[in-house]
Amino acid sequence: MNGTRGVGQGRIGLTAIAAAALALGGCATKDWVRDYVAQQDAPISASVQQVDGRVTAVDGRVSQVATQTAEARKVADAGVRKADGVDMRVTQALSERQDLELVDSKNLRFASGKSTLMPDHKQVLDEVQAVLLEHPTYSVHIVAQADRPGTRHENDLVSLRREENVRRYLAEKGDIVLHRIYFIALGEDLADQPKPQPEHREVTVAIYRPAVQ
């Protein structure tokens, strides 16, 4: 009995030692796995962060492009509205001319890039004023042009200044009410060659009267 009990107790001791060793081995294995996973995860995390940084940079560039596109669209829309406004004015002028008869037409020629009224210009405009003052139902149509030497922007401005100087002279000196004055500045739109064309450096001043129905 005592011998059997001794063997049993020995077996129990060995089992306890084996269980403890297995438990210790299990903890070591878990620590090793955690360390290994951490080592493997570090470069992956760094790569992910690098990719995230690139994606953020791309998103920033996309946002910048979107902003630039929106601004360009605004400019384009403004250009379309401006063109529509010019088309409307031209259409209105043509429509109104259908109910008018041409009385007389004068051409004022300017030097290249110039818009100041010269003495001969003022003499012609004085004659136009006299006709308008004598006939209250008459109207005057002013069409200003420029030839193509220079930039389009410069030519638009010079034709606008020519038209404005003629209009101001008629309205201020001759006391002609503005609703009798129709005007448009065409810039270089009618010029068909890049070389100087004096015939397109002109302001046409046309006098109209109501058509007889």
Q: How many helices (H) and strands (E) does the chain have?
A: 3, 4
* Per-residue tokens: 61: 């560039």
Asked if residue 107 and residue 58 are part of one domain, the reply reads no
Asked if residue 105 and residue 85 are part of one domain, the reply reads no
pLDDT of residue 176: 80
Asked if residue 131 and residue 89 are part of one domain, the reply reads no
Query: What mean pLDDT is reported for the chain?
Result: 75
Asked if residue 1 and residue 90 are part of one domain, the reply reads yes
pLDDT at residue 43 greater than cutoff 50: yes
Task: Tell me the residue range of the domain where 158 lies.
Answer: 101-210
Give the end of a domain, one of 56, 83, 98.
98
pLDDT of residue 188: 87
Closest CA to 160 of 170, 146, 140, 178: 146
Asked if residue 126 and residue 26 are part of one domain, the reply reads no
Closest CA to 188 of 162, 213, 212, 156: 156
- Using only C-alpha atoms, what is the Rg of the chain? 45
Distance CA 80, CA 70 (A): 15
Asked if residue 114 and residue 91 are part of one domain, the reply reads no
Q: Give 186's pLDDT tier (boundaries 50, 70, 90).
A: very high
Of all residues in the chain, the percent with pLDDT exceeding 90 is 37
Asked if residue 128 and residue 79 are part of one domain, the reply reads no
pTM for the model stands at 0.54
Distance CA 46, CA 52 (A): 10
What's the CATH number where 202 sits? 3.30.1330.60
pLDDT at residue 20 greater than cutoff 50: no
